[in-house]
Structure 1
């Protein structure tokens, strides 16, 4: 439904990895691959989401790359601005550090760290008000899928944020669909199942905003080079949020290449 007018995104979520020396090596190897076989910016947006203490180092290391590589924060505070909030990093502080993109709503934040609807909503509002672009994560558990509730759960997670997104702000949001049961398990939704959910998300977005037809919807959940081409061939899958495979330069490059060449 979306057609080929949406430039795909491939974003590596490093989670709580790796050590600094390994991160430096990973970036250098990835840059070398891009140098040898460039992926045009117009063919695929590429980003990496390192741990918070490495954001600016990673950003600096990518400055001499032959194309833009976005540095993405893995999370931000529900508190805005500055203040007495020990351990927190606000949207404004990210923006001040020239970090323009952020993940919000990842299932690990929701399930392990208690990011409920109110917290997620506050984070989205703060990020948009600060001028950040959001990669907003949605997804169902295995129990919810087996109970036939997958579409309902995912669409509700999108509806959860509509009250804090202004009509002109939707183009600052990228959706990432990650079935929880496929994250880090080696299991992947079949391309048919993934496409069906992405099409349903697209349909829901189009009912919410005029931007819905043009918004990128990424797939996440054990994405690897072996399944990237097949996923990239699905019309409503506009990229990937990559976990473990993004910690290997060659694997991450091949996934980006798959989406750049297919879309």
Structure 2
């Protein structure tokens, strides 16, 4: 089933970048591009995920943009509420600061920081209970792809959260497919391979939830201005989670423009 009727999302994941002055210049440059040639909100949702330290400040900077650009947290605590948990930021604290979106399950969190399915389930449950919208990341390693396990791995990662997502809460889920072997490597899944996986994810979602046909499925993995148009043309790719290219205002704008023009 095609997701072509879904409004695309383009979200920049800044990861542990940049320094404060560069972040401000990046946001101002992006705002200026939007001011000169607006991307209509009905054609594309836009968001940026700065570091937790910069989240509130970037949100304030984005408030003066010509259109909504959402602030997205890169992570959330597995612990709910408030309390004596040094270094943690809960879903409730994010919501209290008007941060309504969060990334969960990024491969860097899974691989580097050892976040298991049970940890991710706690994060998903807390985020949904606090009213956040989740961009839930899935993806296979190169070894898993070469062994023919890619679809199985990705669909299992989606099934992992099904036990903690209540029926109506699937409306608050966005899926981001990021093949691990394409993140930060310069390698990108071919549009044909990416579309095939997105179609399989769509099929799996429709078996899990009645909202499966309306959930946005984003592609991530060395997305850049040069390949965005081709990726945006794929019927089940409903946007992009952009890494390195989101640290350049013009590149990020061109990627957003590519997906907006599919509407």
TM over 0.5: yes
* Alpha-carbon contact 2:3-2:216 (below 8 Å) kept: no
* Alpha-carbon contact 2:3-2:238 (below 8 Å) kept: no
How much does 1:4 deviate? 2.9
Q: Structure 2 stretches of 5 or more lacking a match?
A: none
Match of 2:238 in 1: 238
Match of 1:110 in 2: 110
How much does 1:2 deviate? 2.6
Count of equivalent residues: 263
Q: Where do residues 47-66 of structure 1 align in structure 2 (5 Å cutoff)?
A: 47-66=47-66
Match of 2:132 in 1: 132
Match of 1:14 in 2: 14
Match of 2:142 in 1: 142
* Alpha-carbon contact 1:2-1:214 (below 8 Å) kept: no
- What value does the CA root-mean-square deviation take over the aligned residues? 0.5
How much does 1:48 deviate? 0.1
Query: Are residues 1:162 and 2:137 paired?
Result: no
* Alpha-carbon contact 2:104-2:137 (below 8 Å) kept: yes
Whole-Å separation in 2 of the counterparts to 1:262 and 1:171: 22
Whole-Å separation in 2 of the counterparts to 1:170 and 1:117: 18
How much does 1:262 deviate? 1.5
Match of 1:46 in 2: 46
Q: Structure 1 stretches of 5 or more lacking a match?
A: none
TM-score under structure 2 normalisation? 0.99
* Alpha-carbon contact 2:47-2:70 (below 8 Å) kept: yes
How much does 1:97 deviate? 0.5
CA deviation map 1:61-91 (0-9, x unaligned): 0111110000000000000000111100000
Match of 2:262 in 1: 262
Aligned residue for 1:26, secondary structure, equals helix
CA deviation map 1:171-209 (0-9, x unaligned): 100000000000000000000000000000000000000
Q: Which runs of structure 1 show a deviation greater than 2 angstroms over 4 or more consecutive aligned residues?
A: 1-4
Aligned residue for 1:102, secondary structure, equals strand
Whole-Å separation in 2 of the counterparts to 1:150 and 1:5: 26
Match of 2:182 in 1: 182
Whole-Å separation in 2 of the counterparts to 1:203 and 1:4: 14
CA deviation map 1:73-123 (0-9, x unaligned): 000000000011110000000000100000000000000001101100000
Query: Are residues 1:205 and 2:205 paired?
Result: yes
TM-score under structure 1 normalisation? 0.99
Q: Where do residues 190-229 of structure 1 align in structure 2 (5 Å cutoff)?
A: 190-229=190-229
Aligned residue for 1:214, secondary structure, equals coil
How much does 1:5 deviate? 1.8
